[in-house]
Amino acid sequence: MALPCICDSHIHTWCSPDASDTTSMMCEAGERAGLYAMTITDHCECNLYRKDGYDESIRRSYLETRQAAVSFYGKIRVLTGVELGQPLQDLKAAEDVLSIGDFDFVLGSIHNITGYEDFYFLDYQKEDTEKLFSLYLDEMEKMVEWGGFDSLAHLTYPLRYITGENGIEVKRANHDAQVDRILKKLAESGKALEVNTSGLRQKIGVTLPTLNLVRRFREYGGKYVTLGSDSHQWKDVGEGISTGIQVIREAGFTHYALYEKRVPKLIPIVEGEDFD
């Protein structure tokens, strides 16, 4: 194998409220991009599970993805995942969604802090951004301690808005110790860290998290990293994954993980290596 295999483990379809392209369109885009595998990870915002109809949409996502896996068999591997948002804000919802079927992959995300709206909607000129980021990390840390997911999604997500959209810097020194604790606990738990490449297409212009945090995760003994474009439209499927591979290579990893039936399979990123 001359080049590394490209797998995209974070993709949204029209079964997410903020995406509109069909599951087939997304899979066709993945096939055209030459991906080896892609994992559909539609949103399940646990705190809004029944109120906003995620209980229905995630079932639809699961069934459509399973159908797509059959339709695209031999062209691209289509795997069934879910992006669990704020699972600790409603653990019963998290349990319910995972009982739908045998998911291949579960992302753990924090999109909003308890009592606040999604980071997307906040007015950062009025908010105390240091406090917000700290509260976000508190919930991340608790989610890592809970551990009911496979890969920790887009660590530092609020920076997409605080720094990327509003140009406000968060003081690293205020949060370094907590970020370190999260990375250490994640590494010790054997869970994966996601390198989310959506930031490369946005104003922030970097992966979430950046290289220095991926490197720290590895130094703490982290074994698994997953790569995801977080695409919400067909033209973004697979976007930035090659850059993500460079980031993890620089951090010292020789493989990244693709989850099937919630078991990590290691994909080599070094030329000349093969995998089964």
Instruction: By CB under 5 A, name the binding residues for Zn ion.
Output: 83, 109, 230
Q: Provide the minimum distance between the beta carbon of 1 and Zn ion in the complex, in angstroms, as a whole number.
A: 29
- Name the residue nearer to Zn ion (CB basis): 160 or 215: 160
Q: Provide the minimum distance between the beta carbon of 155 and Zn ion in the complex, in angstroms, as a whole number.
A: 11
Q: Provide the minimum distance between the beta carbon of 10 and Zn ion in the complex, in angstroms, as a whole number.
A: 6
| Cβ atoms of residues 239 and 230 within 8 Å | no
* Residue 206, SS3 per DSSP: coil
What gap in Å lies between CA 69 and CA 30, rounded to an integer? 12
- Name the residue nearer to Zn ion (CB basis): 28 or 230: 230
- Name the residue nearer to Zn ion (CB basis): 72 or 119: 119
What gap in Å lies between CA 43 and CA 81, rounded to an integer? 10
- Name the residue nearer to Zn ion (CB basis): 112 or 129: 112
Q: Provide the minimum distance between the beta carbon of 83 and Zn ion in the complex, in angstroms, as a whole number.
A: 5
- Name the residue nearer to Zn ion (CB basis): 64 or 83: 83
Q: Provide the minimum distance between the beta carbon of 43 and Zn ion in the complex, in angstroms, as a whole number.
A: 6
Q: Provide the minimum distance between the beta carbon of 13 and Zn ion in the complex, in angstroms, as a whole number.
A: 11
* Residue 229, SS3 per DSSP: coil
Q: Provide the minimum distance between the beta carbon of 74 and Zn ion in the complex, in angstroms, as a whole number.
A: 27
Around 210, how many Cα atoms within 13 Å sit in the side-chain half-sphere? 7
What gap in Å lies between CA 263 and CA 240, rounded to an integer? 24
- Name the residue nearer to Zn ion (CB basis): 84 or 251: 84
- The rounded Cα 253 to chain-centroid distance in angstroms is 18
What gap in Å lies between CA 12 and CA 34, rounded to an integer? 18
- Name the residue nearer to Zn ion (CB basis): 153 or 214: 153
What gap in Å lies between CA 101 and CA 103, rounded to an integer? 6
What gap in Å lies between CA 213 and CA 222, rounded to an integer? 11
Classify residue 118 by its DSSP letter.
B
What gap in Å lies between CA 16 and CA 11, rounded to an integer? 10
Around 82, how many Cα atoms within 13 Å sit in the side-chain half-sphere? 33
